[in-house]
Amino acid sequence: MIVAGVMSGTSADGIDVALTRIQGRGFRSRLELLAHYHFSYPLEVRRTILATMNAASASVADLSRLNFLLGELYADAMRSAQRRARLECQLVGCHGQTIYHQGIAKPYLGRRIACTWQTGESASLTAKLGVPVVSDFRPADMASGGKGAPLVPFLDYVLYRHRRYGRIVQNLGGIGNLTAIPPRAQPDDLIAFDTGPGNMVIDAVTEQLFGKSYDRNGRLAARGEPLERVLRETMRDAYFRQKPPKTAGREQFGREFVRGFLRLCRRADENDIIATATALTARSIGMAVRRFVLPMVEPPARFREFVASGGGTNNATLMRMIREELAPLKIRVRTTDDLGMPSEAKEAAAFALLAYQTWRRLPSNVPSATGADRPAILGKVSYA
Ligand SMILES: Nc1ncnc2c1ncn2[C@@H]1O[C@H](COP(=O)(O)OP(=O)(O)O)[C@@H](O)[C@H]1O
Ligand SMILES: [Mg+2]
C-alpha cells in the first residue's frame, strides 16, 4: 500500500511529507521510503503557531481558524509532494500540529485529567485528496493510561532492531527523544522517552540574540565555548533526573525555561551562550544514556550505536558535542541517513506506518514507551 505521512513538529518550522510503500503487519511490517519533501511554513504562520503554543490563553475563534488553515496547508503540501513524486497515495497519516500536551494527569474540576491537542483539520485533507486520512494519534494511547508520546518507537523498532547489539535511536527535533533497543529486543523491552530540548532552546536563544530562527549548521555555537557553570546549574532541572517514561514540550522547555537560562548566562559572550544551549542538548542526552539506558542491559557495552535523525543532525556543532559525550561510552554516532532513511523524513514516515496499522485495525502504541496499560489502535479516520 502507498501511504503518506505528514508531520509538523514542535519546532513549527514546516511540514514534512514522506511517501512510503508499506507491507506486512504490526512489528513485522516493511516500510520503503519512496520520496520526501519539506515545506516551510510562511513566517507569519510559524509565528502564530509558536505564539499559540506559548500562550496561557488563546481565543477559541483563532484556534478554530488555525485548525482549518493547517488543514489547507497540509493538503497543499500533500498535493505538491504527490505531483513532484508522480505518485498517488492510498492513505494518509497526519500527525497535526501539537498546541498543547500534558501527558501526566493533573487535578482538574474534581478529576485527574491528562490531555493533548493536535490541530490541523483532517476532513480538509480527505476532501482535497480523496483518500482516507488517519489523524489524532495520541488520545487513544492516553485513554489507555499512556502519556500519548512517544509514538515513533514503533517505527524505530521496525527499522532499527538488531540481533547482535543495542541501538539508541535519537530524534533531534524541537524536543530530543530517544528509543533504546537492546539486542534481540521484543517490543516490550524498548525504553523510549524525551531526553529534553533538541533544537528548541538553541532556536529560541538564536532568535533572541541574533534575530535568526536557527543556528545554521551550528556555526554560531562553533565560535563560542560552553559556559560550564550555566550548564551544571541548568542540568539540575528536575526533568533531567526524572525517571522515564517521561515526555517534554514547550511546556517544559519553552519561553519560561529560556528566560531562566538567559538569566543564568547574564552578560556572557553571545556565541558562548549559543554554545551553552547546544551543549545542554548534548549533555542531557549523555546523561539520559548513562542513567537510564545503559543500566538496562548487561553488560552495558552492548549498546554500540547511536542513530540520530531530525533537523538537529544538520547542526555540526551539536553533533560534535554529542559525539564527545558518547565517545567515552564507546558508542558510535551515526545518522539515519547512513542507514538509508533521510533524517528529516523519519518522523513523517513513522506516521505513515502508524496510519497503516490503524487502517488494518492493528494497535501501534508501544506500551513500554508510553506507559499505557495495553496496546491501542491509534487515531481517528476521516473516510473519503
Ligand atoms: N542546517 C541546519 N543547521 C542547524 N539546525 C538546523 C538545520 N536545519 C534544521 N535545523 C534545526 O532543526 C529544526 C527542525 O527540526 P525538525 O526535525 O523538523 O523538528 P520538529 O520535528 O520539531 O519540527 C529547526 O528548527 C532547526 O533548529
Ligand atoms: Mg519540523
Q: Is 26 left (phi over 0), alpha (psi -120 to 50) or beta?
A: left
Between the CA of 315 and the centroid of ligand 2 the distance, in Å, is: 14
Q: Pick from 199, 349, 217: which is nearest to 285 by CA? A: 199
Q: How far apart are CA 3 and CA 102, in angstroms?
A: 29
Residue 130, phi-psi category: left (phi > 0), alpha (psi -120 to 50), beta (remainder): left
**3 state DSSP class of 283:** helix
317 lines ligand 1 (CB under 6 A): no
Closest CA to 150 of 246, 242, 240: 246
Q: If you measure from the C-alpha of residue 97 to the centroid of ligand 1, how many angstroms do you get, rounded to a whole number?
A: 16
Instruction: Give pLDDT, residue 298.
Output: 77
Diameter of the chain measured on Cα atoms: 57
Describe the crossing of helices 43-54 and 60-85 by its angle, rounded to 10 degrees: 140
CA atoms within 13 A on the CB side of 55: 14
Interval 139-162 mean pLDDT: 96
Q: What is the pLDDT of residues 87-142, one digit of tens each?
A: 999 999 999 999 999 999 999 999 999 999 999 999 999 999 999 999 999 999 99
Of the listed ligands, the closest to the CA of 312 is 1
Helix (H), strand (E) at residue 367? helix 367-370
**Pocket-testing residue among 199, 208, 281, ligand 1, by greatest number of atoms within 8 A of Cβ:** 199
Ligand 1 lined by 196 (C-beta under 6 Å): no
- Whose Cα sits closest to atom 13 in ligand 1? 311
pLDDT at 87: 97
Asked whether the beta carbons of 166 and 190 are under 8 A apart, the reply is no
Q: How far is CA 276 from CA 33, 49, 97, 194, 291, in A?
A: 36, 26, 28, 20, 22
Give the model's confidence band at 251: pLDDT under 50 very low, under 70 low, under 90 confident, else very high: confident
According to the model, what pLDDT value does residue 343 have? 92
Tell the residue nearest (CA) to atom 18 of ligand 1.
311
Quote the CA–CA distance of 365 and 377 in Å, as a whole number.
7
Confidence (pLDDT) at 297: 81
Using 50, 70 and 90 to split pLDDT, how confident is the model at 11?
confident
Average pLDDT, stretch 239-268?
94
pLDDT digits (tens, 9 = 90+) for 33-62: 999 999 999 999 999 999 998 788 889 999
From the CB of 193, is ligand 1 less than 6 Å away? no
- Measured over the CA atoms of residue 305, residue 283, residue 141 and residue 136, the dihedral's sign is negative
Query: Does the pLDDT at position 235 exceed 90?
Result: yes
Give the residue, out of 39, 207, 213, 314, with the most ligand 1 atoms within 8 A of its beta carbon, to mutate for a pocket test.
Answer: 314
CA nearest ligand 1 atom 14, residue? 311
- Pocket lining: 247 vs ligand 1, CB cutoff 6 Å: no
HSE, CB side, 13 Å, CA atoms: give it for residue 367: 12
Q: What is the pLDDT of residue 55?
A: 80
Mean pLDDT, rounded, for 238-265 = 94
Amino acid at 106: K
For residue 46 and ligand 1, the question of a CB distance below 6 A is answered with: no
DSSP per-residue codes, 86-105: T---SEEEE--EEEEEEEEE
Residue 101 CB partners (closer than 8 Å, separation 6+) = 115, 116, 117, 138, 148, 149, 247, 249, 251
Going from the C-alpha of 77 to that of each of 15, 19, 71, the distances in angstroms are 7, 12, 10
- Distance in Å, CA 50 to ligand 2 centroid: 13
Question: Ligand 1 atom 19: the closest Cα is on which residue?
Answer: 173
Choosing from 7, 10, 13 the residue with most ligand 1 atoms within 8 A of its CB, the one to mutate for a pocket test is 13
At residue 58, the pLDDT reads 86
Predicted TM-score (pTM) above 0.85? yes
Q: What is the mean pLDDT of the chain?
A: 96
Tell me the pLDDT tens digit for each residue of 165-223: 999 999 999 999 999 999 999 999 999 999 999 999 999 999 999 999 999 999 999 99
Atom of ligand 1 nearest to the CA of 200: 27
Does residue 7 surpass a pLDDT of 80? yes
What number is the average pLDDT over the span 137-148? 96
Q: Which residues pair with 106 in a beta bridge?
A: 113
Q: Is 47 in the pocket of ligand 1 (CB under 6 A)?
A: no
From CA 346, how far away is CA 16, in angstroms rounded? 9
Provide the pLDDT for residue 301: 66
264-317 pLDDT, tens digit per residue, is 999 999 999 999 999 999 999 999 999 999 998 877 668 999 999 999 999 999
Residue of the CA atom closest to atom 9 of ligand 1: 311
Gap from CA of 98 to ligand 2 centroid (Å)? 12
